[in-house]
A and B are shown apart, each in its own frame.
Chain A
Amino acid sequence: MKAELTLKIDSLYQVINDPNNLKAQQLINDAPSKVEDKLSYDITEHTIKLANEVLKSIETSRKAITSPLDAYKKQIMDVEKEAVEPLKKYIESAKSKMLDYNNELERVQREANEKLRIESEKALEDAPFDVFNTLAGYFVDQAVSINTEQPKNIRVTKKARINGEVNWSMVLNVLFAAECIDYQDLLTPLAKAMEKCGVVKIDGIEIYEHKTQVIR
């Protein structure tokens, strides 16, 4: 790996100030302000091409300077990666083991609770008034005694996954209502998707032709 990095940005200024580029910039200033006939259309087309050429030459010059920077950054990140990868793997694996342990504790607690619930439900349902206190107290004390250890630092977040036939209409409604998605995200690929699937019409959706000038 290189120990030093020398940046020469003079070449970029040279390209920016190159007489040909300055001339092109002058042509842009003189370009017609309106496109209203074939002549102004052709001149504008020619000017765009010139502007693109200037743009590309400046970009190429810039890249000549920044590419070594990118490569240098990548090399540094590779060194970092080599050092941290084993640590990250360990952390991931250890966290997974801790979660397994927590899940097991929860299972034990759940089963103990359920057993006690069934037992107490049966006992208390018809318990005479005079013995209710003793029985209820017994079951409450039992619940305290079966309370398992609760590991710290477990964050519980809710996530969704598919477990059957999905009502996608409802999914979209909920996401829209909660403003989790923007309708524009769905509209952008829609025309192509409809074409691909042979769908001609969807209520409330208009397929229109959007034009882009593609001179390079």
Chain B
Amino acid sequence: MTRDQFVYFPALSCSRIKKHYTGDISYAKVALELGVSLHHQLLDLKPEQMNLEAYNVHKAIGSHPVASRIMNGAINEHPMIKEVQVGRHTIEGKAMFDIYNSQLNVIADIKTTSARTLDVFASDMVKHYNHIQAVWYSLIAGIDPKNFFYIGVTSRSKRLGSNSDTILVYRHSDQEILEARKLITGYLDQNIDQLKSHFNSSYKS
């Protein structure tokens, strides 16, 4: 499945749910485009093809015990479409995993971040409703959301000689996962009919 095919595939994505709560985030366009560029470098290219910044990040991730093990043998940019059940709703969902390690049953998502510390990074993930993404992706992959990890790329990790300290790896707490489930359910409670007509897909309520 190509990226375009994935984008236009009629199924519910986490970005649609997140947008319901975040509203318009066009102010973050520049930051998001920079993130897309780094994603492309890190996930689509071989190390020798990467630009210097991406290569430094690649090396830093490689020196992080958790991040490197997750990336080792994983599939990058892996699309998945699956019927998921959330509360009393069943709907076809889609997700594009940055990093999917089927052996470890782990998903990881690369996030560029301005945070310098893990607590700020963790709080940013919730503030930007990324815990919805963690739970949604986990539902589609059929894994425990505790097996969804963020790999936070800081500005320091782009520098020459950056080490594992510059990579922030985080997974959500039980409380954050519970909160995300409520947000997803709340969204579906309000929008399931609209989604039904939009996707014209099979669902059960």
* Chain A residues within CB distance 8 Å of chain B: 110, 113, 117, 120-121, 124-125, 127, 129, 132-133, 136-137, 139-141, 143-144, 147, 150
**In the complex, chain A residues whose CB is within 8 Å of the CB of B104:** 129, 132-133
Closest chain B CB from A104 CB (angstroms): 16
Interface residue ranges, B against A (CB under 8 Å): 64-66, 69-70, 103-106, 116-120, 122, 144, 146-147, 149, 164-165, 169-171
A117 to B68, CA, bound (A): 12
A147 and B118 within 8 A (CB): yes
CA distance A150 to B121 in the complex (A): 13
Residue numbers in A under 8 Å from B165 (CB-CB): 110, 113
Instruction: Tell me, in angstroms, the Cα distance from A197 to B164 when the chains sit together.
Output: 49
CB distance from B16 to the nearest CB of A (A): 28
A133 and B106 contact, Cβ closer than 8 Å, known pairs A140-B66, A144-B170: yes
Q: Find out whether the CB atom of B65 lies under 8 angstroms from the CB atom of A150.
A: no
A139 in contact with B117 (CB, 8 Å) = no
Interface centre among A132, A139, A143 (most CB of B within 10 A): A132
The closest CB in chain B to the CB of A123 belongs to B65
In order of increasing CB-CB distance, the 8 nearest A-B pairs are A120-B65, A121-B65, A136-B66, A147-B119, A147-B118, A133-B147, A132-B104, A124-B65
Which residues on the A side are within 8 Å of B169 (C-beta)? 140, 143
- Chain B residue at smallest Cβ distance from A133: B147
Q: Which residue of A lies closest to B146 (CB)?
A: A137
A/B interface sample: 14 pairs, CB < 8 A: A117-B64, A120-B65, A124-B66, A124-B69, A132-B106, A133-B105, A133-B106, A133-B144, A136-B106, A137-B146, A140-B149, A140-B170, A147-B117, A150-B119
- Shortest distance from the beta carbon of A111 to any chain B beta carbon, whole Å: 11
Q: Once the chains bind, are B171 and A132 in contact (CB under 8 Å)?
A: no
Task: Decide: B69 and A132 in contact? CB cutoff 8 A.
Answer: yes
**A127 to B105 CA separation, bound complex (whole angstroms):** 14
Q: Would you call A137 and B147 a contact (CB within 8 A)?
A: yes
Bound CA–CA A136/B104 (angstroms): 10
Q: Which residues of chain A are within 8 angstroms of B164 by Cβ–Cβ distance?
A: 117
The one of A113, A136, A137, A143 in contact with B69, judged by C-beta atoms closer than 8 angstroms, is A136
Closest to A127 in B: B69
| Set B65, B70, B106: member contacting A117, Cβ < 8 A | B65
| Chain B min CB distance to A101 (Å) | 16
Chain A residues with Cβ below 8 Å from B170 are: 140, 144
Q: Name the distance in Å between A137's Cβ and chain B's nearest Cβ.
A: 6
* Inter-chain contacts of A133 with B (CB < 8 A): 104-106, 144, 146-147
Is B119 touching A144 in the complex (CB atoms < 8 A)? yes
Please name all residues of chain B whose beta carbon is closer than 8 Å to the beta carbon of A143 when the two chains form the complex: 118, 169
Contact B171 A141 (CB under 8 A): yes
For B66, the closest partner residue in chain A by CB is A136
Separation in Å of the A150 CB from the closest CB of chain B? Answer: 5
Chain B nearest CB, measured from A117 CB (Å)? 6
Q: When the two chains form their complex, are residues B118 and A144 in contact, meaning their CB atoms are under 8 A apart?
A: yes
Chain A hits for B144, CB < 8 A: 133
Cβ of B81 to closest chain A Cβ, rounded Å: 24
Closest to B103 in A: A129
The interface residues of chain A lying within 8 Å CB-to-CB of B66 are 120, 124, 136, 139-140
Report B204 CB to chain A, min CB distance, Å.
Answer: 31
